[in-house]
Structure 1
């Protein structure tokens, strides 16, 4: 009996040692349970983090997440680099643009595998703008200058032979501000995502030139799969707090799995009122328009990362000339580790 007891104790001790190793278990306690997340917006590509919060998945993972919503990805990124946020729910493309500047950021779980973007002309300019080339000299609304929305606009302009300086870029936010700017005539065209795009299309205030709400539309416009939204942080933070990053990943994946089997009505019901930019029926229709963009597995692919880099390089000579190790801009290990448990 004594030898058996000693054997059991040895086995239990070995198991305990394994669990406490960083990354060894998806359930390892986060080193930094109180966390600040800077969100680039609350458009539908970012819904997984909203659902992770509202359905308690962050809490189940041992996290107390304070979410700050910014008017665009550039401002959310600035918040993290300035030290007021730990992680960002924003565009994966930011990891590439910052890599060209020597800043080491890493995306660790994908929120959306296509951008869900709708680029269109507003009601007042509909008769004047029929093609991208007609945008020369016009005012284009984006969430914020330097955001992924802005980068998307630059790519579309480049396809028409226009330069970024050929248009005026105006930051209008990605929610109520964008709707107001489109309806008031402040802008001639707008890069948006849902639910804003569906709201404006429904009221006749936006006429699409390009729609990237599903993988097929994205490939036709951008040349391949384009993972827009992800959760990223600095490589330093990921190395220092691996269990925390793992916990965030676990919560996001729980949200994505739930969304994959939930009805649009259930998803809309799980979105807190402060994130709802339209009535329930419009919100349901908007989600149905782009739900195929929501990631089902949180993974980044090599091909998708190269598409993002190629889109950026098409209009940004600094990206085009930079030697960027794309594999260093994302890390699938946290998703893979979660899937093993």
Structure 2
């Protein structure tokens, strides 16, 4: 249940939304205020761009960006009303929370894996293991493999990579650790292989600690989504639509050559803490131009976690209960008017 203070805010936000038009934005003090939870990764770059290039202001919103620690935190913060918007990755915890009636509204994709190499999230082998003769996925049977956690995209990605060599997760020793820790584990021989993500993958290569072993295992896979507190989305649809429009404008800028712009790289470097020169050398996730989610990809991940015994329900989750495609369609129509 949202607090009285929050409800008063929602009412004022709705009033401000009603006063907004593209030709005459509301005054700054009247703009709806939204705190957006983000992770300091390039996947979130559209939001950094929308903030620093004034796209949120352009659509009559006062948006603040707040760092977060993970997907579980995002869903909990949104469901409780402690934050209004955020992005998270698909995973067992998210599927179970939807089944349990989590009060979040999903409105658009965050990012998906490209259909090309180099991959933004390669499966890597340590240089030490490579020199010891581990050159193929098949060679990893019984070896230690780094995975960021037991119920998210990292686990799914590693499983898909192992499939390339006829292996399963049961054939390796899973070592759970975050991507930044992989470098030390590769260096000291604590891991033979592991999941990675940019910019850490490039750093492993530059430092001579790791090599890309598999890159074509998650082509086109949906990585994450944009979501809002459910009650806020229901009572402030126009505000949500304008937020999505600003996000899509930033995403389209990036996906149509924006990564070659020095100004864009400066902005992303500021939020991610990744040096600009490093950003120039990495590969990036992408998005559908209209922000739509590939539900077939989501279903594949759901079935994977069911096979792992991580889901608390039978049959496919009813994503339609939380995915508001109508708001996404309105955002695209609003953006088309510019």
TM-score (norm 2): 0.73
Contact 2:83 2:229 in 1 (8 A): no
Structure 2 counterparts to residues 48-59 of structure 1, below 5 A: 48-59=46-57
Classify 1:132/1:33 alpha carbon distance in 2 versus 1 (closer, same or farther; 3 Å). Answer: farther
The aligned counterpart of 2:268 is: 271
1:315 CA displacement: 2.6
Distance 1:37 1:134 in 2: 40
1:326 CA displacement: 2.8
Distance 2:186 2:94 in 1: 30
The aligned counterpart of 1:230 is: 225
1:182 CA displacement: 4.6
Structure 2 counterparts to residues 84-233 of structure 1, below 5 A: 84-93=82-91, 95-114=94-113, 116-126=120-130, 127=132, 129=134, 130-131=136-137, 134=140, 136=142, 138-142=144-148, 144-154=149-159, 156=161, 160=166, 162-163=168-169, 167-172=173-178, 174=179, 176-177=180-181, 179=183, 182-183=186-187, 185-211=189-215, 217=216, 221-222=217-218, 225-233=220-228
Q: Which runs of 5+ in 1 are unaligned?
A: 1-16, 212-216
1:166 CA displacement: 5.6
Q: Once superposed, what is the RMSD of the aligned Cα atoms?
A: 3.8
1:66 CA displacement: 3.0
Alignment partner of 2:107: what SS? strand
Q: Which runs of 5+ in 2 are unaligned?
A: 1-14, 115-119
Contact 2:204 2:210 in 1 (8 A): yes
1:284 CA displacement: 1.0
Contact 1:57 1:255 in 2 (8 A): yes
1:200 CA displacement: 1.8
Distance 2:19 2:113 in 1: 35
User: 1:284 pairs with 275, 280, 283, which one?
Assistant: 280
The aligned counterpart of 1:313 is: 306
Distance 1:165 1:237 in 2: 45
* 1:66 and 2:71 matched: no
Contact 2:42 2:268 in 1 (8 A): no
Cα deviation 1:204-249 (Å, max 9, x = unaligned): 32222332xxxxx3xxx24x73221221234333213323322320
TM-score (norm 1): 0.72
Alignment partner of 1:117: what SS? coil
Cα deviation 1:139-179 (Å, max 9, x = unaligned): 5141x55443234335555785544696343232x5x5555
What count of residue pairs does the alignment treat as equivalent? 306
Classify 1:261/1:151 alpha carbon distance in 2 versus 1 (closer, same or farther; 3 Å). Answer: closer
Classify 1:128/1:208 alpha carbon distance in 2 versus 1 (closer, same or farther; 3 Å). Answer: same
Classify 1:298/1:61 alpha carbon distance in 2 versus 1 (closer, same or farther; 3 Å). Answer: same
Distance 2:76 2:204 in 1: 29
Alignment partner of 1:140: what SS? strand
Contact 2:111 2:223 in 1 (8 A): yes
Classify 1:167/1:74 alpha carbon distance in 2 versus 1 (closer, same or farther; 3 Å). Answer: farther
